[in-house]
Amino acid sequence: MGPTYVSRYRSRIVERLRCVLAGDAPLRNVLRYHVGLEDATGAANQAFGKLIRPSLTLFIAEELDGDPEDALSAAVSLELVHGFSLVHDDVQDGDEMRRGRPTVWSRWGEPQAINAGDLLLALALAEARAAGDAVLKRLLDAVIEMIEGQALDVSFEARWPRMDEYAAMIDKKTGALFRCACELGAVLADAPREVRNRLNGIGRELGRAVQIRDDLLGIWGSESELGKPVRADLRRRKKSYPMVAAAGRANDGEWRILKAAFAKETPSDEALREVVETMERLGVRESGAREVEAHLEGALSELERLPVSDDGLRQMRALCESLRWTPETGVR
Amino acid sequence: MGPTYVSRYRSRIVERLRCVLAGDAPLRNVLRYHVGLEDATGAANQAFGKLIRPSLTLFIAEELDGDPEDALSAAVSLELVHGFSLVHDDVQDGDEMRRGRPTVWSRWGEPQAINAGDLLLALALAEARAAGDAVLKRLLDAVIEMIEGQALDVSFEARWPRMDEYAAMIDKKTGALFRCACELGAVLADAPREVRNRLNGIGRELGRAVQIRDDLLGIWGSESELGKPVRADLRRRKKSYPMVAAAGRANDGEWRILKAAFAKETPSDEALREVVETMERLGVRESGAREVEAHLEGALSELERLPVSDDGLRQMRALCESLRWTPETGVR
C-alpha cells in the first residue's frame, strides 16, 4: 500500500513466505523464484509484487482486533493463491515476462510451471488451514470462483463479450480474491455479518479498480510499469476492458476495424495500431480512468462506514491513491 | 476391485461425484466429461476409471467401522485429486487419448485444461474438508507429495535416473495417493497408530504395483487395455520402469542403443523397436511382472496382519488379482 503500510506489513509477509517455501524439496526453488525471494541462480532477491491482498487482510484484521498470528497465515495463503494464479496464467497466455523477469514456464518449461502452480495452490490451502477452518472455507470458495473467472476469461478469447459479461468475469477472476482478502479480516476478528458484507463490498470495488487499471496499463502503460511487453493482451486477442468498451461503442466502420484486426490468429502491428487509435477516438482511455476512479471512491466510501481508526483511513486512502490511473500517465 | 467390490461401492461413489460436479457453473461440464459422467455432448455416460483409490478408502473405513458418510466424502475427494492429476498430466505429456476418449486439453484446449485441473483440485479439497480436519490434513500432505513426484518425473525426461531414484519418484507420484487412500480408512475410524502404519505400508505396495504395471502396459500393453496409443511414453522419452531397468542392466553396446534412440527429440519407430528388443533381451518384461507380483504379495501379507473380516480379505485378493500383470498377456 502507501509507504507506511508497506513498511508495516511487508517484512512479516515476506518472512512467512520464506518459511512456507523453505527447503530442498522439489520445485521449492522455482516457487521462491516466482514470488521474488530468489533470483534464477538461487541468490536472495527482493522482487516481490505489491502484496496488496495480504496487506489488506492484515490491515483489516488489525483494525478489527483479529488474532495477528492467524491473520498472517491467512494473508500469506492469499498471496500464495495469487502466485498460483499468475504461474498458470503466464502458461495460458504464453507471457514470457512478469514483473520484469522471465516467467516460470519460460525458464523451467510448461510442464514444470503447471506443477509449480499446482504446488502453490496446495501450499496455500495448507497455510489457510493453519489459520482455522473458517479461513480455509472462505478461501476455498474464493479459489473456486477465481478459477471459474479465469475459465470465462479464456472462453472470451473466442468471442466478444458484452460489458456486463466482462464485469461478471472480472468480479470472479480478480474480485473473488480481493473480496476474500477483505472479508478474511472480518472472519479473523469474528466480526458481525454487517461488517463482513461491507468488507465484501470494499473488496469488490478494489478488485474492479485493479483489473480495469491492469487492462488499461496493458495498452497504454509503459513496459517498465507493466513488467512485460505492452499490447501482449491485444496481440493474443484477449477481451480486456478497452476491447469490450470499444466494441460496445463502435459504429459500423469502427466495428469492422476491430473485427478485421482479430480475424487473424496474430493481428499485425499495423492492425493493432488502428485498433488502439479507434479505442482512443471512442474515449475508452478516459472512460476507463474514470471507472477506476469511481471504484476506488466506492471502496473508500464503504470503508468510511466501518469502525476503522483515523490512521486506518489514511492508510486506505494511500492505497487507493497508488491504484489510481490517469490517461495522462498512460500517454507514452 | 473384483466384481463384488465394484457393485458394493461404485454406485455410491458415482452418485456423490455427480453431486459435487453438478450445475451450470463454468467448467463443470468439462469435469463431468473428464471423470466419465458425461460424453462430449453432455449426454449421460458411464466411462469411469477403475475407482480403485476411493474404493480402498471405503473398504478400509468399513472394515474398521469408520463413519460411512465422512468416508464417502474422503473417498470422493481422492478420486477428484486423481482426476486433477490426470488432466494436468495429459497436458504435460501431450497425450490426446485417455481411457479411449479424447483428453480434456485435446477437446477444450490447454488453457481450459489447466483451469479444469485447478478446479478439480480445489473441489477435491473442499470435499475433503467436509469429511473433517484430520482427513483434509492427510489429503493435503498427499497432494503436496504427489505434485513433488510429478515434478521429479518431469525432471527425469532430461536425464537417466537410477532405479532407486525411480522408486522414490513413484512412491511420491503414485504412492502418495495410494498410501493416503489406505490411511484415510484408519483416520476415519480413529484407528491406532500401528494400524495406520500398516495401512500406509499396504498403500505403498499397491502404489508401486500399479505404477510399474502401468509402465509395463505402456510398452507391452494393447491400445484397448491402455486407452491410448502404446509406446507414447517411450516416444516422449519418459523414464518409465522398463527404461530405467534396461539402462541399469545394459552392457556398453546396449547402452549405446538406448542412448542413441533418445538423443533425438522424437525417436524414430525403428529406434524404438530396437529399444524394446533390447529391453526384452535384458529380461525387463519378466522382471517387471515379478516386481508387480511381489508388491501385490507385500500388500496382502500386510493386510493379513490387520483386523479385517474374511470377506474383506477375499475382496482384497480380488483387487490384487485384477492388478496382476503377466508378460504373456503383454505379448501382442
Question: How many CB atoms lie under 10 A from the CB of residue B123?
Answer: 25
B152 vs A26, A117, A147: nearest CB: A26
What cell does A97 get? 515476462
Confidence band for A225, pLDDT divided at 50, 70 and 90: confident
- Does the pLDDT at position A331 exceed 50? no
Q: Would you list which residues of chain A are within 8 Å, Cβ to Cβ, of chain B?
A: 25-27, 84, 88, 91-92, 109-112, 114-119, 121-123, 125-126, 129, 133, 136-137, 140, 143-144, 147-152, 154-155
Asked if A38 and A29 count as a contact pair (C-beta separation under 8 A), the reply is yes
Distance from the first to the final alpha carbon of chain B: 25
- Does the pLDDT at position B332 exceed 60? no
Averaged pLDDT, A254-262: 93
Averaged pLDDT, B130-148: 98
- Does the pLDDT at position B242 exceed 70? yes
Averaged pLDDT, A52-57: 95
Averaged pLDDT, B142-159: 96
Backbone angles phi, psi at B21, to 5 degrees: -105, 15
Q: What pLDDT score does A8 carry?
A: 83
B189-232 pLDDT per residue, tens: 999 999 999 999 999 999 999 999 999 999 999 888 888 888 88
Q: What pLDDT score does B328 carry?
A: 67
Averaged pLDDT, B236-259: 95
Confidence band for B329, pLDDT divided at 50, 70 and 90: low
What sign does the dihedral B141-B147-B153-B159 (CA atoms) show? Answer: negative
Averaged pLDDT, A78-88: 98
A172-196 pLDDT per residue, tens: 999 999 999 999 999 999 999 999 9
A148 vs B27, B111, B136: nearest CB: B27
Task: Enter the DSSP assignment of B44.
Answer: B
B140 vs A25, A126, A154: nearest CB: A126
Asked if A48 and A85 count as a contact pair (C-beta separation under 8 A), the reply is no
Asked if B81 and B121 count as a contact pair (C-beta separation under 8 A), the reply is yes
Q: What pLDDT score does A6 carry?
A: 52
The domains of chain A, with CATH numbers, are 3-323 (1.10.600.10)
Q: What pLDDT score does A230 carry?
A: 84
Residue B133: closest C-alpha in chain A: A133
Nearest-CA neighbor of B328 among B213, B244, B221?
B221
State the smallest CA–CA distance between residue A147 and chain B in angstroms.
Answer: 6
User: Inter-chain contact B143–A122, Cβ cutoff 8 Å?
Assistant: yes
B27-59 pLDDT per residue, tens: 999 999 999 999 989 999 999 999 999 999 999
- Does the pLDDT at position A214 exceed 60? yes
Give CA–CA dist B228/B246, Å, rounded. Answer: 23
Asked if A122 and B143 count as a contact pair (C-beta separation under 8 A), the reply is yes
Q: What pLDDT score does B70 carry?
A: 96
Query: Which of A84, A135, A147, A237 best tests the B interface by mutation, with the highest count of B CBs <10 A?
Result: A147
Nearest-CA neighbor of B227 among B99, B90, B105?
B99
State the smallest CA–CA distance between residue B328 and chain A in angstroms.
Answer: 35
User: Inter-chain contact A144–B123, Cβ cutoff 8 Å?
Assistant: yes
Asked if B74 and B188 count as a contact pair (C-beta separation under 8 A), the reply is yes
State the smallest CA–CA distance between residue A318 and chain B in angstroms.
Answer: 34
A263-311 pLDDT per residue, tens: 888 889 999 999 999 999 999 999 999 999 999 999 999 999 998 999 9
Asked if A88 and A114 count as a contact pair (C-beta separation under 8 A), the reply is yes
Q: What pLDDT score does B331 carry?
A: 44
Percent of chain B at pLDDT > 70 equals: 96
What sign does the dihedral A51-A53-A54-A57 (CA atoms) show? Answer: positive
Ramachandran region, residue A190 (left: φ > 0; alpha: ψ -120 to 50; beta: rest) = left
Global confidence as pTM: 0.97
Q: Tell me the sheet residues that pair with A128.
A: none
What sign does the dihedral B124-B127-B131-B132 (CA atoms) show? Answer: positive
Q: What pLDDT score does B1 carry?
A: 47
Q: Tell me which of A92 and B329 has the higher pLDDT.
A: A92
| Residues on chain B touching A136 (C-beta within 8 angstroms) | 129, 136
Q: What pLDDT score does B265 carry?
A: 84
ipTM above 0.90, yes or no: yes
Q: Cα A282 to chain center, whole Å? A: 26
User: Inter-chain contact A26–B129, Cβ cutoff 8 Å?
Assistant: no
Nearest-CA neighbor of B288 among B223, B209, B230?
B209
| Range list of H helices, chain B | 3-20, 28-35, 52-63, 68-93, 104-108, 110-130, 133-155, 163-173, 175-188, 193-220, 223-226, 232-235, 241-249, 252-263, 269-281, 284-304, 310-323
- Does the pLDDT at position A46 exceed 90? yes
| Residues on chain B touching A20 (C-beta within 8 angstroms) | none
- Does the pLDDT at position A2 exceed 70? no
B1-21 pLDDT per residue, tens: 454 655 689 999 999 999 999
Distance from the first to the final alpha carbon of chain A: 25
Q: What pLDDT score does B271 carry?
A: 92
Helix pair angle (A310-323, A193-220), 10° resolution? 30
Give CA–CA dist A58/A64, Å, rounded. Answer: 10
Nearest-CA neighbor of A244 among A304, A330, A157, A320?
A157
Confidence band for B270, pLDDT divided at 50, 70 and 90: very high
A6-10, A42-46, A258-262, B278-282: which range is least confident on average?
Answer: A6-10
Q: Tell me the sheet residues that pair with B158.
A: none
| Residues on chain A touching B137 (C-beta within 8 angstroms) | 129
Helices (H) and strands (E) in chain A, counts: 17, 2
A119 vs B92, B115, B147: nearest CB: B147
Q: Would you list which residues of chain B are within 8 Å, Cβ to Cβ, of chain A?
A: 25-27, 84, 88, 91-92, 109-112, 114-119, 121-123, 125-126, 129, 133, 136-137, 140, 143-144, 147-152, 154-155
In total, the C-beta contacts within 8 angstroms joining chain A to chain B are: 110
Q: Tell me the sheet residues that pair with A98.
A: A101
Mean pLDDT, chain B, whole residue set = 94
The SS3 of residue A165 is helix
Q: Hey, what amino acid is at B238?
A: K
User: Inter-chain contact A123–B112, Cβ cutoff 8 Å?
Assistant: no
Give CA–CA dist B176/B82, Å, rounded. Answer: 11
Judged on CB neighbours under 10 Å (0-12, 13-18, 19+), B268 is exposed
Give CA–CA dist B20/A149, Å, rounded. Answer: 19
Asked if A248 and A160 count as a contact pair (C-beta separation under 8 A), the reply is no
Averaged pLDDT, A212-226: 92
Q: What number of residues does chain A have?
A: 332
Q: What pLDDT score does B189 carry?
A: 96
Contacts of B273 (CB under 8 A, 6+ apart): none
Contacts of A297 (CB under 8 A, 6+ apart): none
Q: Cα B182 to chain center, whole Å? A: 14
